[in-house]
A = this chain, B = another copy of it.
Amino acid sequence: MKYPNSNKTYVRPKESASNRGMSLEEDINCTNRYYLTNDIAVIHKKPTPITIVHVDYPKRSAARITEAYFKLASTTDYNGIYLGKYIDFEAKECESKTSFPFSSIHKHQIDHLSSVIKHGAIAFIIIRMVEYDKDFLIKAIDFIDFYNSGTRKSLPFAWIEENGFEIKRSYQKPCDYIAVVERVFGL
């Protein structure tokens, strides 16, 4: 966003981000706890995959992992059940104002989304456009179609606004994606 007759780019006041202060992951986890407690859905984040190389077993205290490495995820980060349906999604924050780079999502994760779609899953991606302070749900099938068209290396923000669905937030549900899922996937 540019001011008229100016070359200055609008700089979003920092407060809005720091007031929120929560990452997309924290917001989704908090929302998932709300869904679980209120019997709306059971959706969990998967633990970070790591390769454990060495563990110490000290006497009288907990086993301690002393050497381990992060591993590439072979699936998405979140899955679970809503109204009997299998739900699967990946969530990403995007710092760019103009587009979401495909390099943010691993090929493995795209393949995983394609597989679960084939089996009837409700599959999507949640993108937080940090600079606009907005969260969007994008159907995985739409994302993959665009990705496979091979014409670009990122998802333009204009495309996200047009094809994505904005996710509302509230105090209890800081990323209320189930409300969007219900509407968009016709459940």
Residues of A within 8 A of B (CB): 36, 39, 41-42, 44, 46-50, 52, 62-71, 74-75, 79-88, 112, 115-116, 118-121
Cα of A41 to Cα of B46 in the assembled complex, Å = 19
Q: Are A70 and B81 interface neighbours, CB within 8 A?
A: no
Residues of B within 8 A of A75 (CB): 44
A65-B65, A66-B67, A67-B64 are contacts. A42–B120 as well, Cβ < 8 Å?
Answer: no
Report how many copies the assembly holds.
Answer: 2
Contact call B69/A65, Cβ cutoff below 8 A? yes
Enumerate chain B residues within 8 angstroms of A70, measured Cβ to Cβ: 62-63, 65
Choose one: B42, B49, B115; the contact of A42 (CB below 8 Å): B115
Cβ B47 vs Cβ A49 within 8 A? yes
17 contacts between A and B (CB under 8 A): A39-B118, A42-B112, A42-B119, A47-B47, A47-B48, A47-B49, A47-B50, A48-B50, A48-B52, A50-B50, A50-B68, A64-B67, A64-B68, A65-B70, A81-B116, A81-B121, A84-B120
Q: Which residues of B contact A83 (CB under 8 A)?
A: 119-120
Known contacts A69-B62, A69-B63, A70-B62; decide if A82 and B119 are in contact (CB<8 Å).
yes
* Nearest opposing residue in chain B for A120, CB measure: B84
On chain B, the residues within 8 Å of A80 by CB distance are: 79, 86, 116
Residue of B nearest to A55 (CB): B70
Give the complex CA separation of A88 and B112 in angstroms. 18
Which chain B positions have C-beta within 8 A of A86? 80-81, 84-87
**Most chain B CB atoms below 10 A, which of A62, A79, A85, A119:** A119
